[in-house]
Amino acid sequence: MAAEISAALPATGDASADALTPALRGLLATLRLRPRRALGRQGLGHHASRNRGSGQEFAQYRAYESGDEPRQIDWKLYARSDRFFVREAERESPVRAWLLLDTTASMAQADEARPQFSRFDAARQLAVCVFEIAQRQGDACGLVLCGGSGLSLVTPGSGPRQRDRLRHALATATAIGEWPKAEVLAPAWGRIGRGDLVIALGDCFDEAAVAQLVRLAHAGREVVALQVLTADERDFPFADGRRFVEPEAGESLLGDGPALRADYLARFAAAQRTLSARFAAAGIRHATHVIDQSPGQALQQLFGDRAR
């Protein structure tokens, strides 16, 4: 598929890749990273039971202790009692999430209508959204970068410093080369525990990448796949003759856009149906994001109320 639609040069990216609008931030506040499987780990289920924390539902008051955040203090109760009390809320048991980002050369593809914003920029924006959701619910989130540069890994953690580490890793990542060989990825797969949540972001054009996700799912990992496509891949709007270049292997094809369009769209739709069926058979939740759309729709599909 990628060979027929990679006409644009790799984009350099722009600041909008990390820009979360107020509307998008509002949506993120309603989303949760909640695995379907409530597999126990260290005596706790993944969002299957409740414990005390800083969640949404009030549970009880307790006396203020050193280290508590001032925003947790009930100031109205302090005015009545002249003592500091902290509001405790119920929060769901923690999830350990891994964000798996495809950093191969095909991720640098951009639309002709917006060459400064690539598929990789959109994927990084989605990754930041996932980090924000995890940060809000106090869950540990890590990052695995897979591409021509090999393997880069940020161990799961939580809190503002972890968010900064993840954002820095995204900002310095580049989309080059091909999907790494299985032996290169083995150290990362060994770190992803049974019951961990894996959120994969990529174009899903690499057979090896899709096969790895299926293997992870069969090995008991909760896998969510978010496919990122360009609008040109969806619409094939080319109205003239051109050379189509496969960005990873470098192979090229000369062709006439209007003459190729009907056949391309039919085969692309068939390939998408095959991919969806393959993910469904492996128990992998799947959504598609096209980079000319807001990321909210795909995120809502995977992490909104209906998904749960």
Q: Which position has the token pair 């161990």?
A: 155
Q: What is the dihedral of CA 196, 202, 204, 209, to 10 degrees?
A: -50
Q: Which position has the token pair 């856009």?
A: 257
Tens of pLDDT along 6-41? Answer: 333 333 444 344 568 889 999 999 999 987 754 444
CA 232/CA 230 separation, integer angstroms: 5
Tens of pLDDT along 245-259? Answer: 888 777 888 889 999
Res. 66 pLDDT band, cuts 50 70 90: low
Please answer whether residues 203 and 107 qualify as being in contact, where contact means their C-beta atoms are separated by less than 8 angstroms: yes
The CATH code of the domain at 2-39+94-303 is 3.40.50.410
Tens of pLDDT along 164-174? Answer: 999 999 999 99
Evaluate if residue 82 carries a pLDDT over 70.
yes
Q: Look at 269 and 66; give whichever has higher pLDDT.
A: 269
CA 129/CA 171 separation, integer angstroms: 14
Q: Look at 231 and 84; give whichever has higher pLDDT.
A: 231
- Domain assignments of the chain as residue spans, ordered by start: 2-39+94-303, 50-92
DSSP state of 41: B
The model carries a pTM of 0.78
Please answer whether residues 134 and 96 qualify as being in contact, where contact means their C-beta atoms are separated by less than 8 angstroms: no
Q: 150-157 and 140-147: which strand pairing?
A: antiparallel
